[in-house]
Amino acid sequence: MNRLLFALVALCAIRAEVPSAIAIRNARIVPVSSPAIAKGTVVLRNGLIEAVGAEIPIPSDAWVIEGDGLTVYPGLIDALSSTGMPDAGPASGARGAAAAVPISTTPAAPPARGPEDRPNTTSWLRAADLVKPSEKRVESARDAGFTTAVAFPMHGIFAGQGAVIDLTGENGGEMVVVPSVGQYVTLTSNGFTGGYPGSLMGVIAYIRQIYIDAGYYQKAKAAYAKDPRSVPRPAYDRALEGVIESPRVLLPVNRRIDIDRMLRFAAELKLNPVLYGPVEGYRSADLLKGSGVPVLLNLKWPEKAKDGDPEDVDTMRARENRANAPDTAAVFAKSGVKFAFYTGGIEKRADVWKGVKKAIDAGLTPDDALRAMTLSPAEIYGVSDRMGSIEKGKIANLVVTKGDLFQTGSEVKYVIVDGVKFEPTPEEAPKHEAGGGQ
C-alpha cells in the first residue's frame, strides 16, 4: 500500500513539473518567414514563442535544450487530413485524389430522388466537434514532425466543415485552433442504381443547386430579419447553414480539364475555392497562374498498383502522370501558384519524406518544400498570424531535427506542440528490412 501511495505521489510530482518556459539555445533556426539563423535561441512560454534570434538571453526559469548540432523548424502542417477524426479509412474525393475518410456507420437511407433530398450531404458536421486526441494517427503524425492538421469530415458530397487542430490536448476542445475553415466537397455519386445523383454530371448539378439554394436562403433570412412582421419566416435548413458558415470550399480535381471546370464553376458561383488532388497539375499551371486559387498537392504521388493484373496495359496518360506528377510542385513554385502539401493516404512516416523527396528530385527547392508544409498552408487557411513560421507571439509549434529536415538519415529529435515537448518514438522498420528477416 505504501509503495502504491509513493508511486502516485511521484507521478503527480512528475506531471506537476511543467516548465514555465523552454529555451532551445545554440541551434540553427529556420523561421521560414525570414533568413535562417546559423546559431540562435528560441524561447517558449505559455504555449507561445516569446523570443527568437541570435542574441537572446535565457530566462532564469527556463528549461534549456542544448541545440548544438540541431535545427529548429516551424511545426509541419498537414493541409488536408482526417487525423483526429474517429472511424477513418481510405477513400477518394475525386478520381485519383486519395484521402483518408471516415467510414459511415449509419443505416443506408432510401435512394435520393432529387436535390431536395440533400443526398450525401452532412455540411453541418464540424471536425471541431468530432476530433479526439486519442485517435491513433494523432501520435503517429506528431512523431513525423507534424504539429498541426487541417482536419475534415470526408464522407459524402458536402462532407462537413474542417478545423485547424494542434496535435496535443487533454480533449478535443484543447486541440482546436480554428473551428471552421472550409467545407470539404467530393464528387461521390450514387451510381446509376443508387438514386440521385447517379453520375458526375448529376453531382456537379447538385453542388450548383446547393449553392443557388444557399443564396436564396440567405436572401430570405435577411428579408425576414428586416421585416419579421410581414415577411414569412424561412424554414431552418441545416444543410444550407453548414454551407453558408464555411469560409471557403475545397473542390476536388485530377485532370487538367477538372481544374479548368472547377475554376469556372467557382467563378460562376462566386465561391472562395481551394483545389485539391491534381494529378495533372504539372500540365495546368497556365490555368492557375493569376487566378489566385490555391492548390493542395497530395504527397502520395500516383504509382502503379502493386496488386494489379499484370496483363493490364496502362494508358499513355497513366504512364505520363506517374512519371510527371511529382514535377507539379516545382512547376507551381516557378509559376507563382500558391500550393501546400498534404499526406492523403500515406500511413508510414518514411513515405511522407519519400513523397517530399520525389518533389525535390523533380526540381522543387528544399526551401519551397518547407514552405509548402508550414507557412503556405497557414496562409491558405488564414492562420498565418499564429502559425507557420517561427516568430514572436506565434503558437509554440516547432520540430527539432538532427540533420536537415529533408536529408536522408535526418532524425526528428523533438516535436513541440502548443509549448509541450514530445520525443518521437522510432518508426518500426518493415519486417524484410529488420534484423535480416525474410
Integer angstrom CA distances of residue 140 from 71, 101, 116, 133, 388: 21, 17, 41, 12, 20
**CA-based R_g, the chain, Å:** 24
- Report whether pLDDT(9) > 70: no
Q: Which one has a higher pLDDT value, 394 or 425?
A: 394
Q: Mind listing the pLDDT tens digit for each residue in 115-155?
A: 778 889 999 999 999 999 999 999 999 999 999 999 999 99
Coil, strand or helix: which one is 190?
A: coil
- For residue 437, what pLDDT is reported? 41
User: With bands split at pLDDT 50, 70 and 90, how would you rate the model's confidence at 18?
Assistant: low
- Are 139 and 166 in contact by the 8 Å Cβ rule? The answer is no
- Grid cell at residue 35: 533568413
- Are 401 and 387 in contact by the 8 Å Cβ rule? The answer is no
Query: Which residues, other chains included, contact 360 with Cβ-Cβ below 8 Å and sequence gap of 6+?
Result: 366, 369, 406
Q: Mind listing the pLDDT tens digit for each residue in 324-343?
A: 999 999 999 999 999 999 99
What integer is the mean pLDDT of 211-229? 97
How crowded is residue 192: how many other Cβ atoms within 10 Å of its Cβ?
9
Separation of alpha carbons 149 and 161, rounded Å: 14
Q: What domains, with CATH codes, occur in the chain?
A: 1-75+388-438 (2.30.40.10), 77-387 (3.20.20.140)
Average model confidence (pLDDT) for the chain?
88
- For residue 289, what pLDDT is reported? 95
- Are 344 and 97 in contact by the 8 Å Cβ rule? The answer is yes
- Report whether pLDDT(314) > 80: no
The DSSP symbol for 134 reads: T
pTM for this structure?
0.89
Q: Which one has a higher pLDDT value, 157 or 432?
A: 157
Query: Which residues, other chains included, contact 416 with Cβ-Cβ below 8 Å and sequence gap of 6+?
Result: 22, 44, 75, 147, 396, 397, 398, 399, 400, 422
Strand partners, 252: 276
- Report whether pLDDT(433) > 50: no
Coil, strand or helix: which one is 164?
A: strand
Q: Mind listing the pLDDT tens digit for each residue in 73-130?
A: 999 999 999 999 987 443 344 443 433 333 344 455 677 767 778 889 999 999 999 9
C-alpha 133, offset from chain centre: 16
- For residue 153, what pLDDT is reported? 96
Q: Mind listing the pLDDT tens digit for each residue in 342-384?
A: 999 898 999 999 999 999 999 999 999 999 999 999 999 999 9
3-state SS track over 43-105: EEECCEEEEEECCCCCCCCEEEEECCCEEEEECEEEEEECCCCCCEEEEEEECCEEEEEECCC
Q: Is 53 left (phi over 0), alpha (psi -120 to 50) or beta?
A: left
